[in-house]
Amino acid sequence: MNMIKLTTLWLLSSTVLACTTNNSNTDSILQRAEKQLTVLRASSLQDNNIPRSMNKEGHIRWIETPYDWTEGFWPGTCWMLYQQTQDEKWKEAAIAAQKLIEHHKDLTNDHDLGFIFNNSYGKAYRITGEGQYKQVLIDASNSLITRFNKNVGCLQSWDVVDNWQAERGWKFPVIIDNLMNLEMLFEASNITGDSSYRNIAITHANTTMKNHFRPDGSSYHVIDYDPTTGEVLHKVTAQGFADESAWARGQAWALYGYTMCFRYTRDKRYLDFAEKIAQFILNHPNYPKDGVPYWDFNAPNIPNEIRDASAGAIMASALLELSSYTNGKYLQAASHILDSLDGDTYTAKQGENGNFVLKHSVGSIPHGNEIDVPLNYADYYYIEALIRLKERGL
């Protein structure tokens, strides 16, 4: 064996060893997270409410009423912890939280039903196999597909009447986040055998791939379409620094979304596109050394800008799945993000941070909403990523 081959073998071995060594304590990290969230669970049951974040006074910020796009993440987290521990207290908490939101399965005025119901009832069905959860998932999918417009080839994200979107003059806005709602439609097709859900998901993914992205693989946040002609009217980034900037959580949704689309379709176009997005993220000059991104890759005051742990957690989970389709190519990058999130900078001490696990996440800086706070979806994707790492034997 020549020196080049020996060197290559040594590098590969070192990479695998490093990932294994750095993540050999995945179980203990999950246990610490569970301990922290146990207190939050007690508060949730006592108040019969779903935790979303923490307010300025350090108290739990509950989900918005009557509807909140984040309301499915807490029960989803509880289901994941139940699956890991088999402790009935987590199943009890998940069921209690789900009862508060089940009636939203029939809403047709918002696109976030996938976030809400796939991450809660979908997990409940996959873990327990109970038919009651399956039907809720199907009902929510039927509500979601009413937002599909054949002329555009997408599900509409936001309605544009009586809210801040109306001020923009938009007609049919589609946000990059909407990719995440497609997973519920793929699941609905698998459950029912009805390909119509899957076909809508694929059409939406393809239209988004065509119109949402720049040549370098970065994504706009919002594309506004003419609902009659399907023409692109506006390309903007509402929750990022500027229209032409790369809002970090938006890039994370895109990475996760196309990786997930490959899982369900095995269409190599989605795999290649997910890799293109991954390369944009990992090779960007403003990608920080610890792997936890600034809230926007083009924020003006980097390195003195706020980080977004939620975007980091989503990226880590997505990269772990992507690595399973690419011979481990992104495993080290995912592990590095998780190592950073597990450190004192991002993981709260027991009993602090409103009893959420991760600190330093961002909702929307342009809207002055949830800046440098814990978020339920940051914890959700962090727990998901740790479980994915554990399932890889690391």
Positions marked active-site: 112, 177
CB 97 within 8 A of CB 62: no
- Tokens 């060594």, residue? 21
CA distances from 248 to 167, 211, 255, 294, 298 (A): 24, 18, 11, 7, 9
d(CA 121, CA 98): 7
Neighbouring-strand partners of residue 53: 61, 375
Whether residue 303 is preceded by a cis peptide bond, meaning omega within 30 degrees of 0, is yes
CB 250 within 8 A of CB 240: yes
3-state secondary structure of 303: coil
CA distances from 351 to 40, 45, 78, 97 (A): 9, 17, 18, 22
> Could you please report the per-residue DSSP string of 71-94?
TTHHHHHHHHHHHHH--HHHHHHH
CB 114 within 8 A of CB 182: yes
CB 36 within 8 A of CB 348: yes
d(CA 14, CA 254): 30
3-state secondary structure of 65: coil
Nearest to 383 by CA among 176, 82, 24, 58: 82
Nearest to 354 by CA among 17, 26, 60, 36: 60
- Written as one letter, the residue type at 378 is A
